Amino acid sequence: MFTPIRDGRGVPRQECTCDSCGRVEVVAANHGKDGADGAGRAATKIQKMGWSYIGKRLRCPTCEAARKVKDVKVKDDKTVKTEPPVPTRAQKRSIMDLLEDVYDVESECYCQGDTDETVAGVLGLPPAWIEQLREEFFGPTGANEDMQKLSVDVLKLLRASETQRRDAVAHLVKLDVTIADAKSLLDRLKAVEKAVGPRLLGKAVS
């Protein structure tokens, strides 16, 4: 806070009062009839002395240092990571009840097409909660019967394809041999034609 005053000789001054602790500092500053025109000059001078003037609040060096420490602490508190949410007892019971219906403990997989995600969707809960309780109390995998059947079908198809590929390669090898034999016969025929001539070859054929 700035208050226009005059010293004993009548020289205009500004009394600068800390808005936090009430500390007072006096600086030389002209002021008019209402004293308002000298506050700006006083603010400039007092800030050079380590005071702060922010948001129309005047603070002495000690209070300004305390404010900065507090602001830093608040920022640090905001950056502290919060613990991830955990399911309540009621939510755990609902998860366990549904897993009892859709998870096959002996086969260690979900029945039909259910997964952690489908259970989470039914209950409106995070899939991570479903996965945690399922691994702890039911089984180590989130697969299901449909996925296992599909995996078997894929493996069968893959093996059949590999067998067909081997057969095709073997057939190509045989075909290459046949083509080579045919080319060899053709070369022999050309050699004979060149040796005896077309006319004698025709007589020999007839």
CA 102 remoteness from chain centre:
31
Number of domains present in the structure of the chain: 2
Rounded-to-integer distance, Cα 96 and Cα 87, Å: 12
Closest CA to 116 of 84, 158, 144: 144
Cβ atoms of 3 and 43 within 8 Å: the answer is no
Strands (DSSP E) along the chain, which ranges? 2-6, 12-17, 24-28, 52-54, 57-59, 103-104, 109-110
Residue at 132 is within a domain:
yes
What's the mean pLDDT in 146-159?
74
Q: Which of 6, 51, 58 is nearest to 28 (CA)?
A: 6
Q: Name the residue with higher pLDDT: 148 or 77.
A: 148
What is the pairing mode between strands 52-54 and 24-28?
Answer: unpaired
- Classify residue 206: in a domain, yes or no: no
pLDDT digits (tens, 9 = 90+) for 39-96: 788 888 889 889 999 888 899 999 989 888 887 766 655 655 667 899 999 999 999 9
pLDDT per position as a tens digit, 7-48: 888 888 888 999 989 999 988 887 765 545 567 888 888 898
Q: Which domain holds residue 69?
A: 2-79
Q: Same domain, yes or no, for 75 and 22?
A: yes
Helix (H) or strand (E) holding 131: helix 127-137
176 part of a folded domain: no
Average pLDDT over every residue of 132-158 = 78
